[in-house]
Amino acid sequence: MATATLLETTFRDAIHSCIDEEMTRNPDVFVIGEDIGRYEGTFKVTKGLWPKYGEKRVIDTPIVEPGFTGIAIGAAMTGLRPIVEMMTMSFSILALDQIINHAAKIHYMTGGQAKVPMVVRGPGGAAKQLSAQHSHSMEGWYAHCPGLKVVAPATVEDAYGMLKAAIWDDNPVIFTENPGLYTLKGSIPDDKDFSVPFGKANILREGSDISLVGYSRMTQVNLAVADALAQEGVSAEVVDVRSLLPLDMETINHSVVKTHRAVVVYEDWRSGGFGAEIAQRISEDCFDDLDAPVLRVGGLNVPMPYARVLELECIPDVKDVLEKVRRIL
């Protein structure tokens, strides 16, 4: 069987390549958002797209999230496939009514007569000293809402393949990119038809003593934790949730039934974050197979501080996860 050639790239460039390829493939795909044209996006994901495709397909907008999100919804209903870039997913709060009350529900409220094939993507979570209003982890908010699909890739390959699937999907998709991953290096297949389906968790590292369950940047933290535990003779399995809605509990549960212990790690505020949903479902589904309570590691329940040393204290790290793991081994 022939093996696809792998291309070395970064998380950021994988997303850029995907958008570029899909805009070339399909003239109905366009990008809309703040500073995505001449400025090429805050994190430069749309670099080079404006001169290549022009202002009708790379649409710079004023600072008006409800407006350009509403424009995208209307365009999607007429058959176009908009990609909405939020300068930060924190700003998507301003467009919550458009996303929650319209994009997520139009297909159902029209009895299936209308579709909203759009993607809302952008950086979600803490970067470096962007402070309280630019560091929200919004994925749990959106995963609470039926009618949306919500994904949070942790690897370069998934960033590329899941965005392909998002652009092709006939439903509104929330695509969260942790800014701490933009410089992550990896590879993607040299195959423009490659995609990663939603609703399927991924076992990135097999183990037998404990399951480390997470998504987005916390999956990379969990991989580092697994390396540290291996030095101590502990075999940790790393489960990358990657798709929050739909959520693949079958793969997560299968891992926990094998290891009998689980720690769920997420960057969002610990109280009410999506990791709490995963932990509770594990407890319900796998109660008879657990040898210890399911524990969580989440972000501190405070507005993100500007000071770097305080910011780092708010974000789960290897030390935090190891402390929880050792409590239940």
Q: How far apart are CA 190 and CA 225, in angstroms?
A: 31
Cα–Cα nearest to 230, from 212, 207, 213, 251: 207
Residue with tokens 């987005």: 216
Nearest-angstrom CA–CA distance, 62 and 182: 25
134 is catalytic: yes
Give the torsion sign (CA, 218, 224, 228, 230).
positive
Half-sphere exposure of 97 (CA within 13 A, CB side): 6
Query: For this structure, is 254 an active site residue?
Result: no
Tokens of 254: 């299968």
What are the φ and ψ backbone dihedral angles of 98, each rounded to 5 degrees? -65, -40
Per DSSP (E only), the strands in the chain are: 6-10, 29-33, 58-60, 81-85, 119-123, 149-151, 173-177, 185-189, 202-205, 210-214, 236-240, 243-245, 262-269, 295-299
Radius of gyration of the chain (CA): 20
Amino acid at 259: T
* Residue in 65, 85, 157, 311 annotated catalytic: 65
- Calculated CA dihedral for residues 127, 229, 239, 321, nearest 10 degrees: -50
Q: Which of 160, 164, 202 is nearest to 185 (CA)?
A: 160
Catalytic residue among 16, 102, 107, 134: 134
The one-letter amino acid code at 174 reads: I
DSSP string, 87-144: SSGGGGGGGHIIIIIIITTHHHHTTTS-----EEEEE-S--SS--GGG----HHHHHT
Which residues participate in catalysis according to the annotation? 65, 134
